[in-house]
Amino acid sequence: MEKVCMSTNDSQSHSQDLITGSEVLLRGLLMEGVECVFGYPGGNVLYIYDAMVGNPNFKHILTRHEQGAIHAADGYARSTGKVGVCIATSGPGATNLVTGIATAYIDSVPLVVITGNVPTTVMGTDAFQEADIVSITMPITKHSYLVRDVNDLPRIIQEAFHIANTGRKGPVLIDIPKDVSNQAMLFHPPGPINLRGYNEIVSPVQTEIDKLIQAIAESERPIIIAGGGVVYSNASNELLEFVNRTKIPVTTTLLGLGGFPSAHDLWLGMPGHHGTYTANNALQNADLVISIGSRFDDRVTMKVDGFAPYAKQIAHIDIDPAEIGKNIKTDIACVGDIKAVLKYANTKAVPSKSSSWIHEVHENKAKYPLRYKDSDTELKPQFVLEMINETTEGDAIITTDVGQHQMWVAQFYKFKHPRSLITSGGLGTMGFGFPSAIGAQTGNPNRLVISVNGDGGMQMCAQEMAICAINRIPVKIVVINNQVLGMVKQQQEIIHEKRYSHIDLAGSPDFVKLAEAYGIKGLRASTKEEASRIWQEALETTGPVLVEFIVPAEENVYPMVLSGTTLDQMIMGEFE
């Protein structure tokens, strides 16, 4: 069937337009306010890509790998609070999105993932590039649609965005067979959303919040764990007011960093596996633990039966009732949107009896700060992160890959604002850092975006430098190069008695030359003086820059709590 017609390309509906499913898709995305789509074409999405021709309102960025597309959409979503969108073809194109879908799902990131599929006439026959992507991704999507009738497409698009960006947010898949993308329909705007069984609005139970307020009033050693839910619900201001009213110290999880100002007198740093001494010690000695938008992840609690042993009560504020009591027994359950819960709580909040407790945690902050042994002959990675923090004054958007550099960012970069740290928390996806920065920069064209990567993760996504060069996306790409899989090496060193196995990355490319091959300026530093000078040059350069910092392979991340041990069993490294 030939394409019926090209419709008026704008975000307004035209109820009498006879258009194809592909044009319905583009129009629906524009009606949802989509600013940019990241994707990679293939045979079963050719009609969709053909509909983009001559459409000046539809912005699409061609990545160099489908995984780059979904990570870019993820970075866009996390940094803006809007829904990220990506497109891939059927079969291998769709399956290349799986890691990115899982990354977004476990971190509650709103995405609409559009895949092509083989025509409905050959579905189920193992046709060329056929894969049942709906079934493959069922455990890692919030909802999935297989579009069999083009007339359902306007409604499906509207529902997909609604589901992705309400309640506990997450990825939604729309799978469109090739023949459906070319079917014609008289376009009609979708009506009101009516999703039977989907209740995205959970009104907080005020009696539970009242119980929390009473527990706070009686508490002498309270602590708040603020997680990514604070950021996703745009509740940072409400949390700040709550803390100022209750006088409770705050520790922020990896995904919660930026949700509470790092300069605040009651901020203790990050808890858990590589958390600060002060945060972990406070959790182990608290009489009241309040989790706000944090799911008691195992990297935060470590050994569960030894977590917060002196806590008389544990309270949990979360939009997802399935998280309440899942990992840690909960005494006070406040289910609902965090912003709404804290708004009500702030009308009744009273100070805790925490003056002596605050004095104690302040003493610990002074006595056990994050430290490392600096060097005049080697460039330490912690120094690099401190330098980046000082030169940006904590105002940049920082994306990271996964590994030691990710933890050094969490420890040494002092985030001021929410949605400023973009990192793969729950899944720990290598290759995420750089593509997510492209998405973050696309969504925040006037912000400084810095992508911090290890030499391992950078090689999983280096091809996306082409996008920065072609589109002049001015991401500052940092490679912390220790020529080793650092986090794996650290665990093999400590847990496996230095029995190193397959961690040597000494055969990696010259990253400066690689950047130059893509048309991007490349810089390198191996001393403090070089680092300060070339980093300033990078900041003053218009457009993308890659900066490689050569650091020693022996450097480890401390403090560290080993799996199977409790938070108070911290390894402090050279400052044991």
Q: Quick check: helix, strand or coil at residue 317?
A: strand
487 counts as catalytic: yes
Q: Which residues contact 3 (CB under 8 A, 6 or more apart)?
A: 20, 22, 47, 50, 51, 182
Strands of 250-252's sheet, edge to edge? 250-252, 222-226, 288-292, 313-318, 332-335
Q: Which residues contact 359 (CB under 8 A, 6 or more apart)?
A: none
CA-based max dimension of the chain: 76
Nearest to 47 by CA among 150, 130, 187: 150
Distance, in Å, from the CA atom of 186 to the CA atom of 13, rounded to the nearest integer, reads 11
178 counts as catalytic: yes
Q: Which residues contact 60 (CB under 8 A, 6 or more apart)?
A: 36, 37, 38, 39, 52, 87
128 counts as catalytic: yes
Under 8 Å between Cβ of 157 and 145 = no
Catalytic residue among 66, 238, 323, 548: 66
Q: Which residues contact 295 (CB under 8 A, 6 or more apart)?
A: 227, 318, 323, 326, 327
Distance, in Å, from the CA atom of 480 to the CA atom of 458, rounded to the nearest integer, reads 10
464 counts as catalytic: no
Report the C-alpha dihedral over residues 527, 533, 535, 536, rounded to 10 degrees: 160
Tokens (6 digits) for 277: 């001494």
Strands 18-20 and 184-186: antiparallel
Number of CB atoms found within 10 A of residue 206's CB: 14
Q: Quick check: helix, strand or coil at residue 130?
A: coil
Under 8 Å between Cβ of 482 and 408 = no
Catalytic residue among 59, 123, 129, 312: 129
Catalytic residue among 52, 387, 460, 487: 487
112, containing H or E segment: strand 111-117
Distance, in Å, from the CA atom of 556 to the CA atom of 558, rounded to the nearest integer, reads 6
Burial (Cβ within 10 Å: 0-12, 13-18, ≥19) of residue 444: middle
Q: What residues form DSSP beta bridges with 117? A: 177
Tokens (6 digits) for 457: 């993760």
List Cα–Cα distances, 554 to 404, 486, 490, 505, 551, in angstroms: 12, 8, 9, 14, 9
Distance, in Å, from the CA atom of 443 to the CA atom of 511, rounded to the nearest integer, reads 26
Burial (Cβ within 10 Å: 0-12, 13-18, ≥19) of residue 34: buried
Catalytic residue among 128, 536, 572, 575: 128
Tell me which residues are annotated as active site: 66, 128-129, 178, 487
